[in-house]
Amino acid sequence: MMPNSELEQEQLRVNRVTKWVKEQIEGLQDQAGELREDIVDIRKNFWDDVTVNFEDSAESAETHASLKQQAELLSERERTRRVAMEQLGLLKKLAQSPYFGRIDFVEDGESREAIEPIYLGVGSLLDESGANYLIYDWRAPISGLYYDYSPGPAKYETPSGQISGEMTLKRQYIIRQGEIEGMFDTGVTIGDEILQAVLGKQSDSQMKSIVATIQREQNQIIRNERARLLLVQGAAGSGKTSAALQRVAYLLYRYRGTLNADQIVLFSPNPMFNSYVATVLPELGEQNMQQTTYQQYLEHRLVQTFDLEDPFSQLEYTLSAAHGSEYDARIEGIRYKSSLAFIGLIDRYAASLGEKGLRFRAMKFRGRTLITAEAIHEHFYSHNRSYPIPNRLRMTAEWLLKELTRLGREERGKRWVEEEMELLDNETYNTVYSELLDKEGFTQNSFDDHKRESDRLAAIIVQERFKRLRSRVKRLKFLDMPEVYRQLFHETNEQEGEYPQLWAAICEGTAEKLARKELFYEDATPYLYLKELLEGFQTNTSVKHLFVDEAQDYSPFQFHYLKKIFPSCKITALGDLNQSIFAHAVVGDSFHALSGMYEEQETERVVLERSYRSTRQISEFTSSFIAGGERIIPFNRSGPWPTITPIADEEELAKRIAQRIEELKKQGNSSIAVIGKTAEESRLAFEALSAIVPDIHLIAKETSTFEQGVVVIPSYLAKGVEFDAVILYNASSLVYGREDERKLFYTACTRAMHELHLYYLGEPTSFLEKAQLAEPLKNI
């Protein structure tokens, strides 16, 4: 037990710090208010304070200078105000809870008497003198000690070298509204008590920051600065996403001034997940990184050419389509198109196109062919074959633009131009007229003048109509990319010997889809890859850090592509092989594929085995579904053992689940998910339940905000998020029967924090074979 006086002393310190924080808040509020008034004033009087005079060039230069000065003044004030507001936001957080931890650390060679305790909070704070830190930012070099060591010998890295010494105390606080509610001196792990308290709470519609309780192995991820590729394999609920987000905050702090939030991109599994994690960084006083999904990226690149299938539709197909030869070909196609072997095939194909085989589109105008596809083809292949294809395409584009200029001139005398000229508005006439007036020799009344005027008008009309053509040329649209990609699917070269077995059927399915201007999800990345091989890679060099969450859902091909388009950035990939749910997963461990993409010395791997989300009972229960599950270490938080209930018919199923929801609500669970396997099953469940359960919502792939309450959600959309209680709608062997559905089942069940209830019609799924039906005695 801690002596009372110690607690009192700590409370006194909290009071002192909070008082100082509040004083600063007041000061800053005044400053921000003044700045606001200044800004409003400058905006209001912007033109009054500028002497506007454009009479001669000296005067207009002066006008220009004074405008610039006003604008600079305005933006400087706005910037200062923004900084003040950010600081204010941080101070307000510190006023509520100034810090969460303390370490006492004596450097080697220093005396114990001189020890200055280090207090850790979400931001740093200096005292009145400006010389001493009352609070250290959790990301400061010395704060690393708190996460990495228990009392005893310890060391930390600073930019100027390593500092070693001894940690004599490590203490944790729960401070709310300026009051210490709990205080613990801790050992190896960071306060089980505090972690218990944090994890025992009801879930939220937003993910929370974990800075007060970051675990040592998570800290390794957060503070890693060396790896070019950081690979994190972590069990369900082990804090991968949390570590990723705190890592973003850490990097923004560590490289302040050279790295900003726009240079960090997070690829998340679905749009709803984006909303779920969006508040973590602002909570830590940082701006959000760019968030997107891989699908959004693909759509952005392909929307003009194809109707693109999304990964969830692909998954729905693989999960629910009737089995048959078409299905088998599609699955084999998905696997092949995700593989490194397919990259090899495309690389060779692209190289061969340097010799022959590229397909072009004729340039058409008003239904007429201006330049034939053959002419373009001939021009392209007339260039030196040793030049790379992208260069030759660019040279072809230049030639086409020149051709268009020449053809445009010929076009001017055509009848359609005359007709359009008659329809021209007065404004264009007047512009041309005054333009010509400025020119020498234009007298307004000679025949020659009239000719010049109509020539000019004709030129304008043709130029306007040719704009689209020119822009298409500049975007290399004369290359028939869909056709070039399609060709890949009928040329079989016996010697290649590495085509998948059902290649002919795969070709047929792909070609059919392309003919409808549609693209399978599995074709999107290969298509873009081939396009970029031919047209030149559109690389993004401004992004410095790429985070890929749910990395197990990316194919080796997709990783290869990401590496190509983000050539200069570091990648943090986080995933769990036990949650691989896509059909391409069997292509092999994509982590493995990814780890081979960078030099061994540039790659670092971290394994997270402790799981924090679920109670020990849920963790133990769900671990039995997967191979190697015994390696997962549950955090020791207790709750009821999961239930498995057999049900006679659909009607009873809905009734029993509705009763369960009612009970769960009464017990205070604020988020409850009924998880269905597919969108279709979820829709049926929703139909059955919505009549008897109030305020229940159906979540679909388009849903973009994560809400609290009772929801029905398809298993794959529940990825990455969590609920107080999970009800598995129908864990029958008919629904979860195929071996490749095991991981989906596991993913669904591991979304539960406090309670998990499974229902089934008929026979239960065989994945439950090893599951304990009740808590084993040893654990009670």
Ligand X SMILES: Nc1ncnc2c1ncn2[C@@H]1O[C@H](COP(=O)(O)OP(=O)(O)OP(=O)(O)O)[C@@H](O)[C@H]1O
Query: Phi and psi dihedrals of 106, rounded to 5?
Result: -105, 125
Q: Return the residue of 234, 271, 285, 408 that touches ligand X, per CB under 6 A.
A: 234
Does residue 272 touch ligand X according to CB under 6 A?
no
Whether the CB-CB separation of 657 and 725 falls below 8 Å is answered with no
- Name the DSSP letter for residue 130: S
Stretch near ligand X under the rule CB under 6 A, chosen from 239-247, 444-452, 641-649, 662-670:
239-247
Does residue 239 touch ligand X according to CB under 6 A?
yes
User: Which residue do the tokens 């020449």 mark?
Assistant: 406
Stretch near ligand X under the rule CB under 6 A, chosen from 231-239, 484-492, 640-648, 697-705:
231-239
Whether the CB-CB separation of 230 and 604 falls below 8 Å is answered with yes
The contact mask relative to ligand X for 17-46 (x = CB under 6 A, - = no) is ------------------------------
Among residues 574 and 679, whose Cβ is nearest to ligand X?
574
Among residues 233 and 396, whose Cβ is nearest to ligand X?
233
Structure-token pair, residue 731: 């864990």
CA separation for the pair 544, 90 (Å, rounded):
26
Q: Nearest CA to 193 among 637, 731, 651?
A: 637
Structure-token pair, residue 436: 């010509």
Among residues 190 and 688, whose Cβ is nearest to ligand X?
190
Q: How far is the CB of 747 from ligand X (least distance, A)?
A: 7
CA distance to 117, 387, 395, 402, 414, per residue, from 409 (Å) = 81, 32, 22, 11, 10
For ligand X, the binding residues in 482-521 under the rule CB under 6 A are none
Does residue 750 touch ligand X according to CB under 6 A?
yes
Number of Cβ atoms within 10 Å of the Cβ of 409: 12
Among residues 237 and 764, whose Cβ is nearest to ligand X?
237
Q: Return the residue of 242, 555, 590, 617 that touches ligand X, per CB under 6 A.
A: 242
Structure-token pair, residue 608: 């997270």
Whether the CB-CB separation of 758 and 645 falls below 8 Å is answered with yes
Q: Is 240 marked as binding a ligand?
A: yes
Q: Is 509 marked as binding a ligand?
A: no
Among residues 235 and 506, whose Cβ is nearest to ligand X?
235
Structure-token pair, residue 740: 């490749």
Sign of CA dihedral 707, 708, 710, 716: positive
Number of Cβ atoms within 10 Å of the Cβ of 231: 23
Q: Return the residue of 143, 241, 617, 669 that touches ligand X, per CB under 6 A.
A: 241
Q: How far is the CB of 145 from ligand X (least distance, A)?
A: 17
Q: Closest residue to ligand X, Cβ-based?
A: 239
Q: How far is the CB of 752 from ligand X (least distance, A)?
A: 11
Among residues 579 and 732, whose Cβ is nearest to ligand X?
579
Q: Is 144 marked as binding a ligand?
A: no
Among residues 239 and 556, whose Cβ is nearest to ligand X?
239
Structure-token pair, residue 62: 């002066």
User: Which residue do the tokens 């996403």 mark?
Assistant: 241
For ligand X, the binding residues in 197-226 under the rule CB under 6 A are 198-199, 208, 210, 213-215, 218
Question: Coil, strand or helix: which one is 631?
Answer: helix
Q: Nearest CA to 621 among 743, 772, 776, 767?
A: 772
Alpha-carbon torsion angle 53, 56, 61, 66, nearest 10: -10
Whether the CB-CB separation of 618 and 637 falls below 8 Å is answered with no
Q: Please give the size of the binding site for ligand X, defined by CB under 6 A.
A: 23
CA separation for the pair 685, 670 (Å, rounded):
20
Q: How far is the CB of 635 from ligand X (least distance, A)?
A: 8
DSSP 199-252: HHSPP-SS----GGG--HHHHHHHT--S-SEEEEEE-TTSSHHHHHHHHHHHHH
Q: Which residues is 760 bridged to in the sheet?
A: 646
Stretch near ligand X under the rule CB under 6 A, chosen from 80-88, 230-238, 344-352, 537-545:
230-238
The contact mask relative to ligand X for 567-596 (x = CB under 6 A, - = no) is ---------x--------------------
For ligand X, the binding residues in 687-726 under the rule CB under 6 A are 720, 722
Among residues 559 and 612, whose Cβ is nearest to ligand X?
612
Among residues 234 and 285, whose Cβ is nearest to ligand X?
234
Q: Return the residue of 121, 191, 237, 676 that touches ligand X, per CB under 6 A.
A: 237
CA separation for the pair 490, 133 (Å, rounded):
69
Query: Phi and psi dihedrals of 362, rounded to 5?
Result: -65, 155
- Name the DSSP letter for residue 768: G
CA separation for the pair 736, 749 (Å, rounded):
13
Stretch near ligand X under the rule CB under 6 A, chosen from 91-99, 195-203, 333-341, 764-772:
195-203
Question: Coil, strand or helix: which one is 670?
Answer: coil
Query: Phi and psi dihedrals of 515, rounded to 5?
Result: -60, -25
Among residues 242 and 669, whose Cβ is nearest to ligand X?
242
Q: Is 238 marked as binding a ligand?
A: yes
Q: Is 101 marked as binding a ligand?
A: no
Does residue 268 touch ligand X according to CB under 6 A?
no
Q: How far is the CB of 198 from ligand X (least distance, A)?
A: 5
> In Å, how far from its chain's centre is CA 718?
16
Residue 451: CB partners within 8 Å, gap ≥ 6?
A: none
Among residues 237 and 526, whose Cβ is nearest to ligand X?
237
Q: Percent helix, strand, coil in the chain (nearest 5)?
A: 50, 15, 30
CA separation for the pair 772, 532 (Å, rounded):
52
Among residues 339 and 622, whose Cβ is nearest to ligand X?
622
Among residues 153 and 182, whose Cβ is nearest to ligand X?
182
Instruction: Name the burial class of residue 5, with classes exposed (0-12), middle (13-18) and buried (19+) by CB atoms within 10 angstroms of its CB.
Output: exposed
Does residue 238 touch ligand X according to CB under 6 A?
yes
Among residues 284 and 393, whose Cβ is nearest to ligand X?
284
For ligand X, the binding residues in 602-661 under the rule CB under 6 A are 612-613
Q: How far is the CB of 270 from ligand X (least distance, A)?
A: 12
Among residues 218 and 295, whose Cβ is nearest to ligand X?
218
Whether the CB-CB separation of 725 and 755 falls below 8 Å is answered with yes
Q: Return the residue of 94, 236, 699, 728 that touches ligand X, per CB under 6 A.
A: 236
CA separation for the pair 140, 134 (Å, rounded):
13
Stretch near ligand X under the rule CB under 6 A, chosen from 8-16, 229-237, 523-531, 768-776:
229-237
The contact mask relative to ligand X for 521-560 (x = CB under 6 A, - = no) is ----------------------------------------
CA separation for the pair 509, 499 (Å, rounded):
15
Q: Is 541 marked as binding a ligand?
A: no
CA separation for the pair 576, 235 (Å, rounded):
6
Q: How far is the CB of 208 from ligand X (least distance, A)?
A: 6
Question: Coil, strand or helix: which one is 551?
Answer: helix
Q: How far is the CB of 307 from ligand X (least distance, A)?
A: 31
Q: Nearest CA to 455 among 465, 447, 445, 443?
A: 447
Task: Please state the residue numbers annotated as binding site for ATP.
Answer: 234-241
Task: Please state the residue numbers annotated as binding site.
Answer: 234-241
Q: Which residues bind ligand X (CB under 6 A)?
A: 195, 198-199, 208, 210, 213-215, 218, 234, 236-242, 576, 612-613, 720, 722, 750
